[in-house]
A and B are shown apart, each in its own frame.
Chain A
Amino acid sequence: MNLAPALIQDASSGDQQAFVLLVEPLLPDAFRLAVGMLRSESDAEDAVQDGVLNAWRHFGRFRPGSDLRPWLLTIVANECRHQRRNRWWSVIRTEAPGELVDKASSSDPDTLDLRRALYRLPHDQRLAVILRFYLDLSYEDVANTLRISTKAAKSRTYRALERLRLSPEVLPDE
């Protein structure tokens, strides 16, 4: 991504408008990531908003010259993890009617099984699968978002697919 250095500098100096301009093109990816992780559009929007707020607060840690997308996605993914943890003890917050879970084609038993299996995956494995197959990120970008090596990203994705019984026989080159 070609980020205007001036925007980054302005955002680093506290210019909120510059920061919004920087993250705006990334919001669709951030939202899709959160939806993939949380199943609920309203929870996803909360996670994106909280994630962007945290990104703004910690923008001083962003390394000029590196890619903003994996940096932001990492933060949003962490927000998703917090939201899921919170839901363990929150009995009030449940899936609202009309949420994504109802929009997905639910009549096919295989799809239902896959959906259940996906949300039973450990956070890191589900994140790898969502980044790779729902956001269409390259393995290099998956690795940057997960802050692990490309090899480890491939391995984690592969293990997740095995658990989902979607073991790839032949994967095309990137």
Chain B
Amino acid sequence: MNETQIRQRLREAVGETRVPPDLRNRVEVRLGGSQRMKGGSLMFGFGRTASVVAAVLALLLLAAAVIGIRAWHDNLANSRPASRVVQNPTVSQYQAVVSHDEVYALSKQANACNTLTDGCSTAAPRLAAALQQWLDDLNAMRPPSRFIYVDAELRRHVAACITDLKAAVAAYDAKDQKGMDSAIGAGVSERDIFVAEVDAIRNSTQASVSVYTSVVRSDPGLTNCVACQTLAGSGQAPCNVGDDSCQNNIVVAIEDIDGLQGNLVRNFAPDALASKDAHLQMDVWAADQALVAMDTAWSAHDQASLQTARDAFRQAFARVVSDLASI
């Protein structure tokens, strides 16, 4: 179904509508009761004295909040677990470092980088520095075997988030609001992904045979991954640079494959299925890498690399399906 057909079907379903001719007047009437204060702040019928009292109270609350947050940040900064990073951590040591570093990094988030005047040039580098420390910790460790693949993914997303933050600052310095919005949007997407990965790592436990089998066989991400099947199927649906549906399929497939990867981390295989799980995780990783390569090629308008990566995805996805069937 193409976009025109989709649009038509949805319009039939919703129904066409006509804007009430007097909507503007009614909006004006509605606005009539609300006044703005000079300087852009608002006043909703408070008297002057009440406003002054409210302002003083708000300042006191703000000061208390700032002191509290600073103390919390200092506490986090002082307790940053550099010494806990060991080259060959156990599962629980690795979980502790990743979890703590994530909390520390996220504590450096600030509501900046929204406008060209809100202090993005100091807030974003602070967060980027915390992410870099986290990345350094990850690079200094050899993850336990159950986390090998998710660790590689985690490092990729943290690194990408750092890059996005640097791009945001560059746009901020260049007074490029659109560029900053775009970079921050990309950074937020990376953050959402690594938060999900850390969640899987933090909650990773070894599953029983029945639980693991059930999780793998009923994984909703893969069974419903129409995008994966479209990209990997023998139907040869077109996937070309500049074609939006191609990129849609890639993005959705990446999310679904990541979902499966997260489930495999969260429900780590029992010893009896460790060998099969290792194959599955390796092939899921390969499929994911192929999709990332497709995404990169699509963005670079490189059709040849896109096709090569798609072939690699096709092969990896077939192996994943076969691995799943054997469990």
Contact = CB atoms under 8 A, between A and B. Distances in A.
Given A63-B116, A170-B245, 19 more contacts: A13-B38, A14-B36, A14-B38, A31-B23, A35-B14, A60-B36, A63-B114, A66-B181, A101-B15, A114-B10, A115-B14, A134-B10, A149-B189, A152-B185, A154-B244, A166-B10, A168-B3, A171-B244, A173-B243
Contact of B185 (A41, A108, A149, A169): A149
B30 A155 contact: no
Contacts of A169: 1-2, 237, 245
Contacts of B227: 158
Interface stretch (B78-86, B247-255, B268-276): B247-255
B13 A114 contact: yes
A129 B243 contact: no
A56 B251 contact: no
Nearest to B185: A149
Interface in B227-243: 227, 237-238, 242-243
24 contacts: A14-B35, A27-B24, A28-B19, A35-B14, A36-B14, A39-B14, A41-B17, A44-B17, A48-B27, A101-B15, A111-B9, A111-B12, A118-B14, A147-B185, A150-B182, A154-B251, A155-B248, A157-B248, A158-B251, A166-B1, A166-B6, A168-B245, A169-B1, A171-B3
A143 interface: yes
A57 interface: yes
A158 B255 CA distance: 12
A45 B42 CA distance: 24
Given A20-B27, A166-B1, A111 B40 contact: no
Interface string B85-122: 00000000000000000000000000000111000000
B326 interface: no
A10 to B, nearest CB: 11
Contacts of A60: 36, 39-42
A158 B248 contact: yes
Interface in B21-51: 23-24, 26-28, 30-31, 34-42
Interface residues of A, number: 70
Interface string A126-154: 00011001101001000110011111101
Contact of A49 (B13, B26, B188): B26
A63 B180 CA distance: 13
Nearest to A114: B13
A52 B29 CA distance: 11
Given A155-B255, A168-B1, A172-B2, A104 B14 contact: yes
A108 B2 CA distance: 21
A26 B221 CA distance: 39
A148 B252 contact: no
Contacts of A27: 19, 23-24, 27
